[in-house]
Amino acid sequence: MRLPTLALLFAALSALSALPAAAETFDTPQALLQALYRYDTTETDPDAPSLYSPFFSDQLNARFQADLDKTEPGDAGTIDFDPVISGNDGEATDIDVGQPIVIDDTAEVEVTFKNSVPVTLYYTLVKEHGGWKVDDIANQQGEYPWSLSALFDGAR
């Protein structure tokens, strides 16, 4: 009787240890954003609404899911680029996470990096489920400034 119980306990602990690091709670805005830029998107649940769902707020995940639900199979959704690198290709290098401006359970943080050209993104974070989550991302530079919330609002 004890052997099956131990085997079940071991299997449960093994499954928990196999969860991606993104399932953890982030105590600071900087910790969240540093983990976001280290995240291997191949670890994302294939049924998740976004590659970055573990880092996104409930509200932002719901917006991605609603967009996914109304998108025809094979078509691109409203967000047809990687918002974390502000493009379709490349990768973020020389990442600098700025000092957050925190007011209650909301934070604003500037992140700069290179993705063939210098990029500055502005993150809006919220504290939910005991840790920080991304609630919006914006790029206010260039010919076509954007924010995820504005893109989703324009898709209605």
- Give the phi and the psi of residue 38 in degrees, each rounded to 5: -95, -10
Question: Which long-range contacts does 105-108 make (Cβ < 8 Å, 24+ apart)?
Answer: 106/135, 107/29, 107/132
The pLDDT of residue 155 is 56
Per domain, the residue ranges of the chain are 25-154
pLDDT tens digits, 68-105 = 999 988 888 899 999 999 999 999 999 999 999 999 99
The pLDDT of residue 111 is 98
SS3 147: strand
**DSSP result, 104-140:** TTEEEEEEEEESSSEEEEEEEEEEETTEEEEEEEEE-
Q: Where are the alpha helices (DSSP H) in the chain?
A: 2-17, 29-38, 58-70, 148-154
Query: Among 3.10.450.50, 3.40.50.1100, 3.40.50.620, 3.40.50.280, what is the CATH number of 25-154?
Result: 3.10.450.50
Q: Tokens 């957050």 label which residue?
A: 100
The pLDDT of residue 125 is 98
Mean pLDDT per segment of 10 residues, for the chain of length 156 residues?
A: 43 38 80 95 88 96 95 89 94 96 98 96 97 97 93 80
Residues in the chain: 156
pTM: 0.83
Contact call for residues 79 and 67 (beta carbons, < 8 A):
yes
The pLDDT of residue 153 is 94
The pLDDT of residue 17 is 35
